[in-house]
Chain A
Amino acid sequence: MATGAEQSGGFPVDPLHQFVVQPLIPLNIGGLDASFTNASLWMVVTVVAITVFTTLGMRSGAMVPGRMQSVVESFYTFIANMVRDNAGHDAMRFFPFIFSLFAFIFFANMIGMFPYAFTVTSHIVVTFVLAGVVFVGVTLTGFILHGAKFLKVFVPSGVPVALLPLVVAIEIISYFSRPISHSVRLFANMLAGHIMLKVFAGFVLTFMTMGAIGWAGMILPLFMIVCLTALEFLVAALQAYVFTILTCMYLHDALHPGH
Chain B
Amino acid sequence: MEAEAAKFIGAGIACLGMGGAAIGVGQIFANYLAGALRNPSAADGQFARLIFGFAVTEALGIFSLLVALILLFV
Binding site for B on A (CB under 8 A): 15-16, 181, 184-185, 188-189, 191-192, 195, 238-239, 241-242, 245-246
Contacts and interface: CB of A to CB of B under 8 A. Distances in A.
Interface of B: 51-52, 55-56, 58-59, 62-63, 65-66, 69, 73
Contacts of B73: 15-16
13 contacts: A185-B59, A185-B63, A188-B59, A188-B65, A188-B66, A189-B58, A189-B59, A191-B66, A191-B69, A192-B65, A192-B69, A195-B69, A239-B55
Contacts of A195: 69
Given A188-B66, A189-B59, A191-B66, 14 more contacts: A15-B73, A181-B59, A184-B59, A184-B63, A185-B55, A185-B59, A185-B62, A188-B59, A188-B62, A192-B62, A195-B69, A238-B51, A241-B51, A242-B59
Interface centre among A192, A239, A241, A246 (most CB of B within 10 A): A192
A241 B51 CA distance: 9
Contacts, number: 38
A189 B55 CA distance: 10
Contacts of B59: 181, 184-185, 188-189, 242
B56 A242 contact: yes
Contacts of B55: 185, 238-239, 241-242
Contacts of A188: 59, 62-63, 65-66
